[in-house]
Amino acid sequence: MGILIYWTYSPGLFDRLYWNRTPGLFIALFVVGLRIWFLSAKIRYLSEQRLSWIASLRVVLCWEFTSSVTPSTIGGGPMATYVMTREKLSLGESSAIVIYGIMLDQLLLVFVIPMLVVLEFFFPVVPENAGWVGYGAMFLIYMMLLGYATFLTYGVFRNPYVLKRAVNFVFSLPLLRKHRYKVAREAEVLESYSHELRKRPRSFVINAFALSTLAWLAKVWLPAIVVLSFVPADVLLSFLRGMAMTLAGMFMPTPGGSGGLEGLYALFQGPLMTRREFLGIAVFMWRLISFYLVVGAGLMAMSWYLNVKVVETINEKKNNGTKSGSAREDGKKPGSP
């Protein structure tokens, strides 16, 4: 980000801003809030309202926080599973909800990826300056995501046994083998809960898919909204490129995609900005709104669980101390001091 600002900044930049456009940044902030709300609604819906709104919000914020501080290829699913167990759901149920939620996102890609491939013939979704290397990389990303989406969709909707076998295979590896018995039990719960989810009426899947789609659309609209907050641009093309760069960002090996996502923004959205000098500040505002604010909110949610855990540990020690004292008192002989 610093490099982008250094390359694009020019003296008197703020005097040349289109101030009548900058209120669009507040729209971007509102869209981030909408996305968090849609994600919370999806988690609450998949838990069949067993999670309260506040609990669902905490789960989503912890999920987003972990995604922001770990490589994009890892994501925040494991943390979401853990915090749902802290909200009194079983590990198998929590895992099933996370996998089902991820599957809904991947199911959306089954429709989005072919659409982007077709639209590439009519719009330069992948910028021309990306070259053949960029086109090849995006095609590879499309195929990998499509394969992953197909596997998850098949596993959840058609054959949950495949998911169980995949989990058991992973935990048969040497570094994870010591956990295989516990995970095997939870994998059984995961399979049975997946069967239960499959028995839900079609409206259940449609409603959950709608919430997942709205959350995803809010995410891919953000880059375009930020661009339009600084300069006039092709709205449709900026939106389509927001989709493509979001897919490419899933493979960033850095925490939260840092460094890589800024580069993708410059590659995909930069050519659409008629005033190149605004690119650095646009990237900064995009990351501030979509990344740093979420990291701060997620840190607060994580701290809440940490505080609860500390209080539970202290109370447990106090109770154990009280029981030990009572046991010693009960064990005294008559007449003993």
Q: Which amino acid is at 190?
A: L
Exposure letters 160-191 (e unless 16+ CB within 10 A, then b): beebbeebeeebeeeeeeeebeebeebbebbb
The span from the CA of 82 to the CA of 298, in Å, is: 14
More confident residue, 286 or 150: 286
Q: Which of 197, 164, 196 is nearest to 183 (CA)?
A: 164
More confident residue, 285 or 305: 285
Q: Which of 258, 322, 210, 296 is nearest to 72 (CA)?
A: 258
> How much is the pLDDT for 217?
92
**What percent of the chain has a predicted confidence (pLDDT) above 90?**
13
Per the domain annotation, does 148 fall within a domain? yes
Per the domain annotation, does 205 fall within a domain? yes
More confident residue, 329 or 271: 271
pLDDT digits (tens, 9 = 90+) for 230-242: 888 888 999 999 8
The answer to which of 34-38, 45-49, 189-193, 201-205 has the lowest mean pLDDT is: 189-193
> How much is the pLDDT for 194?
67
Per the domain annotation, does 142 fall within a domain? yes
Residues 275-297: what's their mean pLDDT? 85
Residues 287-291: what's their mean pLDDT? 88
Count the helices and strands in the chain (H runs, E runs).
Answer: 13, 0
pLDDT digits (tens, 9 = 90+) for 251-282: 777 777 777 788 888 888 888 887 777 888 88
pLDDT digits (tens, 9 = 90+) for 37-84: 999 999 999 888 888 899 899 999 988 888 887 766 566 777 888 888
159 has a pLDDT exceeding 80? no
Cβ-in-10-Å burial (0-12, 13-18, 19+) of 83 comes to buried
Per the domain annotation, does 318 fall within a domain? no
More confident residue, 80 or 155: 80
> How much is the pLDDT for 211?
92
161 has a pLDDT exceeding 60? yes
The answer to which of 13-27, 64-78, 298-312 has the lowest mean pLDDT is: 64-78
328 has a pLDDT exceeding 60? no
Q: Which of 146, 153, 147, 149 is nearest to 194 (CA)?
A: 153
Contact status, residue 92 vs residue 67, Cβ threshold 8 Å: no
> How much is the pLDDT for 323?
60
Calculate the average pLDDT of the chain: 80
Q: Which of 65, 69, 98 is nearest to 81 (CA)?
A: 98
Q: Which residues contact 279 (CB under 8 A, 6 or more apart)?
A: 4, 8, 266, 269, 270, 273
The span from the CA of 102 to the CA of 90, in Å, is: 18
Q: Which of 227, 237, 222, 219 is nearest to 279 (CA)?
A: 227
Q: Look at the chain and report how many structural domains it folds into.
A: 1
> How much is the pLDDT for 126?
82
47-56, 128-137, 151-160, range with greatest mean pLDDT = 47-56
CA distances (Å), origin 318, targets 279, 309, 321:
57, 14, 5
The answer to which of 140-154, 173-187, 239-253 has the lowest mean pLDDT is: 173-187
Predicted confidence band of residue 325 (pLDDT cuts 50, 70, 90): low
22-31, 95-104, 121-130, 326-335, range with greatest mean pLDDT = 22-31
Domain of 25?
Answer: 2-311
Residues 83-91: what's their mean pLDDT? 82
Per the domain annotation, does 173 fall within a domain? yes
